[in-house]
Amino acid sequence: MERGRAIAYLTMLTMWAVAAESLAQTVDFESVAPGTTFGQAYGNTPGEIVLTQEGIAMSVEEFFLGTFVGFVRAEVGGRYDDYFPTTPLELDNIGVRFDFADVGFDVDLVTLEYQEFGGGNNFAVNDEIQFQVSPLTDLPTDVAPGVTASVDAGVITLEGDIDSFQIGGQELGIDNVTAVPEPVSVLLLALGGAALLHRRHKA
């Protein structure tokens, strides 16, 4: 009996991990033609959604540095290609906001790859306080109520109840924005799969 329970538990954990990986949604900019550019000079306005990939909506936003307000340019591909595994987005005195309302699950974990090439940066989670930092490793751990951030080796990881986040920079490249389901949703999915397997076994 104990062996059977252990096998069922391991099966559940495996299904949980597989489900989390398969449900995760990513913006990697690969569906956008290199050279596609957004910003004021390209007919965009702050807050405008310019890209939706795997249910994640990206809008272009103003960039702030002290009293300076910029809305210059975001370009897919270009100068920073060699620093990322897939085509990045180059931010030049502009911000972008990623909204997870339509991904189909509650987001508990977000990862983002980045490379800094100079100047200041903006960062905000769930439309809370917008931090102005340089470098991004200066982000505080508590970036929003119930949300923590860690920054290591060119990857920002957010953990908590995440609805959206915004990032901007003067010379900043970003790539592979990934949203992962919160554990309860994935666990329920895994338990449902385990129950189905149990019913099939009994039949």
pLDDT at 153: 86
Q: What was the pLDDT predicted at 21?
A: 55
The verdict on residue 186 lying in a domain is no
Residue 4 belongs to some domain of the structure: no
Beta bridge partners of 95: 61, 168
- Let me know if residue 196 belongs to a domain: no
* pLDDT at position 27: 96
Supply the range of the domain harboring residue 111. 25-181
Given this model, what pLDDT does residue 193 score? 44
Is residue 203 a part of any domain in this protein?
no
Neighbours of 178 (CB within 10 A): 18
**CATH code at 139?**
2.60.120
What is the pLDDT at residue 39?
98
- The whole-number pLDDT of residue 101 equals 96
58 is a domain residue: yes
Given a cut of 50, the residues of the chain with pLDDT beneath it are 1, 12-13, 15-16, 184-186, 188-203
Token pair belonging to 171: 């010379």
Q: Which residues of 73-110 are buried (b: 16+ CB within 10 A; e: fewer)?
A: bbbbbbebeeebeebbbbbbbbbbbbbbeebebebbbb
- Is the residue at 90 inside a domain? yes
Domain count, the chain: 1
Tell whether 41 is covered by a domain: yes
41-57 per-position pLDDT tens digit: 999 999 999 999 999 99
Q: Is residue 190 part of a domain?
A: no
Q: What is the dihedral of CA 135, 136, 139, 144, to 10 degrees?
A: 150
